[in-house]
Amino acid sequence: MLGIAGFLVGLAAVVGWLGKGRHSEGNDRVGRGERAYRAGDWAGAEVAARSILATSSGDAGALRLLARAMARQGRNSGAEAIYRKLGTDRMQAEDLYLLGSGLLRRGEVGVGMAALGAAREADPDHAETLDALARRWETEGSLIQAAEAASRLRRRPGWESRGGIRLGSVRAALFDPEGASVAMSEALLRDSEMSRLGEDRREILKRLVRSLIQAGRGSEAMERLREIDPADQEAAWLSSRARLAAGHREEALEALRRAGDFGHRDPMASEPSPFIGARACERCHADRFDEQQRSRHARTLVRPNAIAGLVWPKGPVQDRSEPKVVHEIRATEGRVEAETKVGERAFRAVVLFAMGSGRQGRSFLAREASGAIRELRLSRYPSDPEWDRTMEHPVVPPDSEGYFGRPIQPESFRRCLHCHATNFRAAEDSNRPEGADRGIGCERCHGPGELHVRAVEAKLPELAIARPRLAKPTQVMALCGDCHSAPPSTAPADPGFVRYQVSGLSLSRCYTESTDSLSCVTCHDPHQDAETSPAYYEAICLGCHAQSTQKSARGPTRKGCPVNARSDCLNCHMPRVSNAVPRTVFTDHSIRVHRP
């Protein structure tokens, strides 16, 4: 995608002579138009701008006013044409914001975000730009950036309420219910501002109540619920959770009756509950707990308190790309230190986390003395050579520090932990109940479980827990895809795409023509490691692609394979691929006819 400057310059640089020699009458008309624009009279502002341009077609102020007025009225194509004529050097933060918002609405994400970025560079405190960026980043899952933009928006006069609402939403997504409740409580103090910005006070109250319950403040949540009409089904459902958290069983039952079918609509609905940790599940689900704890999912992360117990190199390791570069990793006094020497320079950091179960390999995140996080270049693999370059690191790095490792930005660091732990926030805080999970625990898929335990003990008809086994296949795919989907930068043609199982399966005709009956759990039990027997999977394939024309148990029978209708499905349609990602083997989940 071109940047915003390239977008404008490539289409039409600056046309003609702009903005010089305006008459006082034109200035007066621009002033009237700008006053109309500030008052929200977009049509009036447009009329004023056009009246000037009728006699002075190159008037920069009138062009800018016309483009803004048209953009505010939703006529983005016309506004873009004017902005091309105006040129980037005469555009202000508001113009760049309006241009970027219009481009995003029509799906031009790259150049639209570039325009918003340019708007923020022009004015770091432009409120509408901050609001748009916070919303976009939250939608994309860039939560650290979204929180920063929302925090800045919250400090803008007249935008405190909107900023607080945005920040509360992001904080909730960041597993910070205390921070979310503070932000939303402050936003609710500004009723007039919320009304002006078109925010629904009742909906914000519900979000606040969710955060209060998750923070363990059930009694306070009950007080805030008094501000919502008790006939509201969702409010009644939240009241049942708040009263359950506060230990009021009979009141919780009554609230459930008032909620009607609200809690039964979606088996994957997020529960506003505190985390409790996987160990608490063992009492009632011992067999499932034992299975899950033996699985690789439960070994995806080694935390700082256990990192020294891993196997480390017994001495210096030469870099396989540049033998003059030497790596050392030493476990001393309960901690692990990494050092890489490149010529006369030495780079050092303390190893924080080991990422991965070890089946494909294990990489390491380390913190430098400056506080910066780096993914070490040296990883451990199950086959020789045991210590080798980390996957996706370049053979020849761009600088000396690259031989030590790759810098990891805060958002990337969060995402690493998000896919290797029950809760990324607990990965560094072993005092939290879920911080005791060794990797991905029960609550990663079922949601936080404290209210579930309380609901079972109170014999409530609702169990207050997400139930993936009752979910639709599309919901299961979304759940698994939270970690097993390809990032936007990885296209299907990229050899590394094979690493992302959900993305591959979603492209398959088996999935797209399954009428929402196929998902990851069709073949895999998420509590156990993947089955390795080809016959196991072939039986599942033949359950749909049966030889007979009778309807199968899974739905309509699909045409059998003309090459081999009885066996060997995987070698042809889901082959194992070696070294598409260096030193690894992945099964290609994009089910299709594979040709050389």
Instruction: List, as one string, the DSSP characters of 81-126.
Output: HHHHHH-GGG--HHHHHHHHHHHHHTT-HHHHHHHHHHHHHH-TT-
Of 27-41, 80-94, 353-367, the one with minimum mean pLDDT is 27-41
Please give the DSSP secondary-structure letter assigned to residue 555.
B
Position 18 scores a pLDDT of 30
As a whole number, mean pLDDT of residues 517-525 equals 96
Lowest mean pLDDT among 78-82, 269-273, 451-455, 554-558: 554-558
pLDDT of residue 57: 87
Q: What is the pLDDT of residue 382?
A: 95
- Give every CB contact of residue 579 below 8 A, 6+ residues apart in sequence: 585
For the chain, how long is the longest CA-to-CA vector? 87
- pLDDT band for position 23 (50/70/90)? very low
Instruction: Give the dihedral of Cα atoms 17, 20, 23, 25; nearest 10 deg.
Output: 80
Q: Which residues contact 3 (CB under 8 A, 6 or more apart)?
A: 111, 114, 118
Q: Is the pLDDT of residue 429 over 90?
A: no
What pLDDT, on a 0 to 100 scale, did the predictor assign at position 9? 43
Give start-end residues of each CATH 1.25.40.10 domain in the chain.
Answer: 4-195
pLDDT digits over 257-312, tens only? 999 999 788 999 989 999 999 999 999 999 999 999 999 999 999 999 899 999 99
Using CB atoms within 10 A of its CB, is residue 30 exposed (0-12), middle (13-18) or buried (19+)?
A: buried
Residues 6+ apart with CB under 8 A from 576: 585, 586, 587, 588
Instruction: Give the model confidence (pLDDT) of 535-560 as tens digits.
Output: 999 999 998 887 655 555 555 566 77
110: pLDDT strictly greater than 70: yes
4-195: CATH superfamily:
Tetratricopeptide repeat domain (1.25.40.10)
Percent of the chain with pLDDT over 70: 93
pLDDT, residue 24, reads 46
Model confidence at 4, pLDDT cuts 50, 70, 90, reads low
pLDDT confidence of residue 430: 81
Q: How confident is the model at residue 1 (pLDDT cuts 50, 70, 90)?
A: very low
DSSP H stretches of helix in 197-232: 201-214, 218-225
Question: What pLDDT does residue 178 have?
Answer: 97
Q: What is the per-residue pLDDT for 12?
A: 35
Q: What is the structure's pLDDT at 5?
A: 52
Report yes or no on whether pTM surpasses 0.95: no
pLDDT of residue 278: 96
Q: Kindly state the helix (H) or strand (E) to which residue 350 belongs, with its residue range.
A: strand 345-355
What number of other Cβ atoms are within 10 A of residue 585's Cβ?
Answer: 13
Average pLDDT of the chain to the nearest whole number: 91
Q: Which residues contact 481 (CB under 8 A, 6 or more apart)?
A: 502, 503, 506
Tell me, what's the pLDDT at 17? 29
pLDDT at 2 over 90: no
At residue 512, what are phi and psi to the nearest 5 degrees? -65, -25
Give the pLDDT band of residue 108 (cuts 50, 70, 90): very high
For tokens 């519900």, the residue is 206
CB–CB of 135/143 below 8 Å?
A: no
The pLDDT, as a whole number, for residue 547 is: 61
CA 523 to chain centre: 26
Peptide bond into 385 cis (omega under 30): yes
Q: Of 530, 485, 536, whose CA–CA distance to 296 is shortest?
A: 530
- Predicted pLDDT at 50: 94
- Mean local confidence (pLDDT), 496-521: 94
- pLDDT higher than 90, residue 196: no
Q: Give the confidence band of 195 by pLDDT, cuts at 50, 70, 90.
A: confident
In tens, the pLDDT along 211-268 reads 999 999 999 999 999 999 988 999 999 999 999 999 999 999 999 999 999 978 899 9
What integer pLDDT is reported at residue 85 of this predicted model?
87
